[in-house]
Amino acid sequence: MQDPGEKQYLFDKPENVTRMLRIFYIACAILFLLDFILHRHVSMKLEEIPGFYALFGFIAFVVLVEGSKLLRKLVMRKEDYYDVDE
């Protein structure tokens, strides 16, 4: 429970978070649909594919996350790395 005297912020209420996520998803869907309607001046042949930037962004995101998982295995230290044995 929250203290009655404590200040209430916008994202403290779960319904506000849900509302913002719905707005975000609707905006993404509208922008994706507009990609089929609006004419774009492209410089590469791949950019003519409808939804190219959405697909490219998703693939880049997945590569970044999976690459960071691999990198973590290479550079991760033991949990007690900074402990000094005296």
Q: Which of the four pLDDT bands, split at 50, 70 and 90, describes residue 1? A: low
71, amino acid identity = L
d(CA 28, CA 33): 9
Note whether 17 and 11 are within 8 A (CB).
yes
User: Quick check: pTM over 0.85?
Assistant: no
Q: Which of the four pLDDT bands, split at 50, 70 and 90, describes residue 86? A: low
> For 23-58, how does the pLDDT look when each residue is reduced to its tens digit (9 = 90+)?
999 999 999 899 888 888 889 998 888 889 889 999
